[in-house]
Amino acid sequence: MTTLMMSEDETMLQDAARGFLDGAAPVSHLRGLRDAGETHDAKLWGEMAAMGWTGVLVPEDAGGSDMGHAAAGILAEEMGKTLVTSPFLSTAVIAATALRQVATDRSKAALGQIAEGKVIYALAIDEGHKHDPDATALQAVADGNGFKLTGSKGFVVDGANADRVLVLARAEAGLTLFDLPADRDGITRTANAMIDARDAAAVDFADVEATGDDVVGTVGDAMTVLQPALNAGQAALAAEMAGLAAGAFGMTVGYLKERKQFGIEIGRFQALQHRAAHLWCETEVTASAVRNAGRVLDEDIDNATMAVSLAKARATDTAKLAVIEGVQMHGGIGMTDAFDMGFYMKRARVAAEWLGDYGYHAERVAAARGF
């Protein structure tokens, strides 16, 4: 039976992460990056690597700490509480999980670079307004012993700052995953101004040359490699959103205890107490779903779809509730840029769409249950 109680080691990891992030990356750090027009802090990323976070899913023989998906979720959740901006999800979670599915010298070397914090990966998968890998139209046309890639990808998170790109393309044999340097001839990246100040880009491919060595896994069988990586990314993103909800809740409760009307703290008003209690209950249930997803991924990554989608759907719903209630209970100040609640709302909105929205994951849960 899967236990949802945190182990002593996990509790220590959580405490260490919170202690570091409170000092190195509070919400004011995100505000500073946004105001400076930046989306990546290389110093912060290097410090994460020094603590072993970038290698959380990298095997020990490749230089990683290999702590597992539950641990990755703990780190993502703590990052979510203060809206940390980093390529952790795209690189240390998604790319690392994809690359460890194939046993090649090249993938092992790439995993080592991830663990050392020397490379940033982006996942170029979606082409439409919604997450749908099966709808991939970017073409990989056979050319000699390799391929030429032509097409476009949108909403590539960490795409502007990435060193390498995992790109999903459609070859004659079927969907194929490629690992390409982001500066290869024919690749054009256009940074997007995201409302949550996170790095994302549109990426265009114009007759981009790819060799057989650039293929991750087998030609025409991308999902064998990519699906576990997507599951891992979706679970970690759900954990980040659970942390976001907890962070917004904590800010709101703090405000309820300080703000006075008619000479008393508004937190004494029973109507607000009921709303706060309901939100707390939702965050606790979601935290359990997120923890379960991490446990299931560690135990059986190939059969984790329902647990992961349940976590992502619940986290999306709970984060939305947390930021709406946060804004409402703060009143007019909650809508101003001078106050941090707006950052939580913007991050919740973007995270809801990345790697599948509520409807996408609700449908996957329903299908897994036979509906």
What does the pLDDT look like over 217-258, one tens digit per residue?
A: 999 999 999 999 999 999 999 999 999 999 999 999 998 898
Cα R_g (the chain), whole angstroms: 21
Q: Tell me the pLDDT tens digit for each residue of 281-302.
A: 999 999 999 999 999 999 999 8
Q: What is the mean pLDDT of residues 148-155?
A: 97
Q: Region 110-115: what's the mean pLDDT?
A: 98
CA 3 – CA 6 distance, rounded (Å):
8
pLDDT value at 327 more than 50: yes
3-state SS class at 260: strand
Q: Distance (Å, rounded) from C-alpha 328 to C-alpha 334? A: 7
pLDDT of the residue at 7? 87
For residues 20 and 312, is the Cβ–Cβ distance under 8 A? no
Q: Specify the pLDDT at position 1.
A: 45
Q: Nearest 5°: phi and psi at 164?
A: -135, 155
Q: Which pLDDT does position 6 carry in this prediction? A: 83
Average pLDDT, whole number, for the chain? 95
Over residues 25-31, mean pLDDT: 96
User: In angstroms, how far apart are the furthest CA atoms of the chain?
Assistant: 79
Closest to 248 (Cα-Cα) out of 342, 314, 332:
342
Alpha-carbon distances, residue 198 vs 76, 135, 154, 316 (angstroms): 15, 25, 14, 18
For residue 203, the surrounding DSSP H or E stretch is: strand 200-210
DSSP string, 107-160: HHHHHHHHHTT---EEEE---SSS--GGG---EEEEETTEEEEEEEEEEEETTT
Q: What angle do CA 178, 356, 217 make, to 5 degrees?
A: 20
Share of the chain above pLDDT 70, in %: 99
pLDDT score for 339: 87
Q: Is the pLDDT of residue 335 over 80?
A: no
- Taking residues 303-323, what's their average pLDDT? 96
Residue ranges and CATH numbers for the domains of the chain are: 8-119 (1.10.540.10), 122-222 (2.40.110.10), 223-368 (1.20.140.10)
pLDDT at 300: 94
Beta strand 174-181 with 187-191 is: unpaired
Distance CA 183, CA 228 (A): 27
Report the pLDDT value the prediction gives residue 3, as an integer from 0 to 100: 62
